[in-house]
Chains A and B, each alone.
Chain A
Amino acid sequence: MPPRAKARARAETVAPSPRPELSREFVAVHKRRRIMDAIAELTAEQGYDATKIGDIVRRAGVARKTLYDNFEGKEEVFLAAFDAAVDEAMRRIEEDCAKVEGGWEERVQAGLASFLGYVAEEPALARMCMIEALSATKAATERYEDAVQRFVDLTKQNVPHDDQLPETIEETLVGGVAWIVYQQIRRQETEKAEDLLPELSEFMLAPFHGAADAAAKRAGA
């Protein structure tokens, strides 16, 4: 079979024509999802620049037209995949934080564990969001910084407030954690991401102990 026909045949096996039991909407959402998954895998494997529309549709098993019906082009696919991954990470982290019955330290630790667990579970998404986004396009870099800001805000919500600490403390802590994880992704050791938990917890919690100790003393006095 010539490669094109082979690809088409594969596309057909991956994406069966809508059967009566699958609603049109379900199929559409599913195809969109597959396109986003495909760009995540491909950029993780070969980088954003090297990834072409043809690669994406082939990997996703959809028609080129389907991609363009859903997205303006490669950048929009990338940004949508990026957003979906960050939303999912945030959702899991918030959910795990909410389950914690202990104090702020346990909450931060649970959030961090949840984040590292996501990285371990989804190495391609982690690589796309934390490495390739920085080199993809200007909009992707900005999106990356917006995502960092979401983590910064989430940290702020969960740690005790201390006037004496630098105003940028949460930003530098989140940036520091991101850098350690970045290197682990580059070493292709994401399956070990959860091993970082004890060290990164201590790194993130340490600056806030002063405020927490003082608060505990006031409460005890």
Chain B
Amino acid sequence: MEVERLPRGRHGLSREFVAQNQRERLLAALAECLHENGYDGTTVSMVGKRAGVSKSDFYKQFESKDVCFLAAYDDSVERIRARVLAACGGGADWATGVLTGLAALLDLLAAEPAQAQLVLVEGLRAGRGVYDRYQEALQSFVPRLRDGAPAPAGGDPPPPATDEAVVGGIASLLARRVLAGEAEKLGEFLPEIAEFALTPYLGATEARRIISER
């Protein structure tokens, strides 16, 4: 995520505007620092330096590294969720919605490995405060998968835990690839992940047909 720095000196920009811009720069810088140095290796001065924001301005925005971290985490999750849900909504039906949503997710994470690292791996290292956020973030995709899902032709609907297990399974695979330093290649997994997600509801044949037509 690139956030432009503002011109130095007198620029006639409102104080709120400057503060908001600094905040966004700090959040982006934190994600990048985490990506490079991990949670424990990231310090407030590193983040400030990367963002071009003084230490005292950092503390005007955030009480501590942890507070900045949680804000960056929420911000990142929200951007990913908004993008994915918007993409899902663009699908003509349930299956194409899920497929386009997954494609948007993988594209976004591949384009922004620092965000992928923040949300899926390094973020959890911030400790227990993040557990609820991580769980909520994942669970927020569950209704999107469950609602409107058809039962496979001639079969029973999948057991209730399926929706959550599918979302969790995808998150686990993505986290493993990000941890292995392969975030940029996540797009390649779209056909596999989509088949994993669609098959419980549509059966393998129909899932493969829809994916191959994309």
Contact = CB atoms under 8 A, between A and B. Distances in A.
A183 interface: yes
Main secondary structure, interface of A, reads helix
Given A135-B125, A207-B204, A179 B159 contact: no
Contacts of B161: 180, 196, 199-200, 203
Query: Among the interface residues B40, B166, B168, which one has the most CB atoms of the partner chain A within 10 A?
Result: B168
B73 to A, nearest CB: 13
Contacts of A165: 195, 204
B172 interface: yes
Query: Among the interface residues B176, B200, B208, which one has the most CB atoms of the partner chain A within 10 A?
Result: B176
B127 A49 contact: yes
B169 A179 contact: yes
Interface string A173-210: 11111111011001000000000101110110011001
B59 interface: no
Contacts of A198: 159
B192 interface: yes
Interface size class of A (residues with CB under 8 A): 35 or more
Contacts of A176: 164-166, 168-169, 172
B207 to A, nearest CB: 10
A12 interface: no
Interface of B: 38, 40, 121, 124-128, 130-131, 135, 138, 158-162, 164-173, 176, 179, 189, 191-193, 195-196, 199-200, 204, 208
Given A186-B131, A202-B158, A207-B199, 10 more contacts: A135-B131, A141-B124, A148-B176, A165-B195, A166-B191, A168-B173, A168-B196, A175-B173, A178-B172, A179-B165
